[in-house]
Amino acid sequence: MMDRSIPDATVARLPVYFRALVDLDRDGTATASSQELARRSGVNASKVRKDLSYLGSFGTRGVGYDVQYLLFEMSRRLGLATERPVVIAGAGNLGRALAKYRGFADRGFPVVALVDVDEAKVGGHVGGIEVHALGDLVALVRRHVGCIGVLAVPADVATAVAERFVAAGVRSLLNFAPAIVDVPPGVTVRPVDLALELQILSFYAQRHDLSAAAG
């Protein structure tokens, strides 16, 4: 089919399929049906086929999808052909933890620097990564073209720090601060509020308990 503009819902699932394909490849599996991919991705087979069809016709009828070929195409479309550096703002508990977390670098997103306003932290190292002054942001972003900014700062300064990232040229932000950060068009922010996730879980737990008490 002729693509042009993949639905957001599909974009959010592509990395899930990608993860499944990486696993299949490591297991030495050469081809996988939409059914198999669906099972490993926690969705249904229809959705997998529809989603993959937005990328093109990469499957073989009667057989399935070639794992390595699909991996290649997906990494291309997701922009994972090259590593994308990550700059973390905020060297508090969360920022330091993210800097030490291997899960980023392991999947192609090396953390290259931390920045913090606290002069006492500047010059220090966290898991081998240097802490820079907030003022160095422009230079850091210039050095690491196409990098992703991570907001691990308090909520009340999240917007201000986001603006500095954007001014420095960053177009992708992952926001861990419990605050809405709005940015100009062309910049993408993905919010990750961990306490908010717990509150959602709390709602469903309570709903379950109440219906159990009523039933």
Q: Is 215 in the site for DNA (CB under 7 A)?
A: no
Candidate ranges 44-52, 109-117, 157-165, 203-211; the one touching DNA (CB under 7 A): 44-52
Q: Is 94 exposed, middle or buried (0-12, 13-18, 19+ CB in 10 A)?
A: middle
Name the CA dihedral angle for 14, 20, 22, 27, rounded to a multiple of 10 degrees.
Answer: -160
Q: Name which of DNA, a second copy, none residue 61 binds, using a CB cut-off of 5 to 8 Å depending on partner kind.
A: DNA
Would you list the DSSP string of 122-144? TT-EETTEEEEEGGGHHHHHHHS
Q: Is 34 in the site for DNA (CB under 7 A)?
A: yes
Quick one: which of 184, 188, 159, 183 has its CA closest to 171?
188
Closer Cβ to a second copy, 133 or 171, answer by number: 171
Q: Name which of a second copy, DNA, none residue 60 binds, using a CB cut-off of 5 to 8 Å depending on partner kind.
A: DNA
With beta carbons less than 8 A apart as the criterion, state whether 55 and 77 touch: yes
Distances (CA, A) of 191 to 66, 128, 155, 179, 207: 34, 27, 12, 9, 25
- Choose, by CB under 7 A, the member of 19, 23, 30, 60 that binds DNA: 60
- Choose, by CB under 7 A, the member of 45, 80, 105, 157 that binds DNA: 45
Smallest separation, CB 136 to a second copy (Å):
22
Q: Name which of DNA, a second copy, none residue 79 binds, using a CB cut-off of 5 to 8 Å depending on partner kind.
A: a second copy
Q: Is 77 in the site for DNA (CB under 7 A)?
A: no
Q: Is 65 in the site for DNA (CB under 7 A)?
A: yes
Q: Name which of a second copy, DNA, none residue 9 binds, using a CB cut-off of 5 to 8 Å depending on partner kind.
A: DNA
Closer Cβ to a second copy, 65 or 176, answer by number: 176
Quick one: which of 55, 41, 46, 69 has its CA closest to 11?
55
Q: Is 31 exposed, middle or buried (0-12, 13-18, 19+ CB in 10 A)?
A: middle
- Interface contacts to a second copy, rule CB under 8 A: 11-12, 14-16, 18-19, 40-42, 77-80, 84, 86, 93-94, 96-98, 100-104, 106-109, 146, 148, 171-174, 178-180, 182, 186, 188, 190, 192-206, 208-209
With beta carbons less than 8 A apart as the criterion, state whether 32 and 21 touch: yes
Q: Hey, what amino acid is at 79?
A: G
Q: Is 59 in the site for DNA (CB under 7 A)?
A: yes
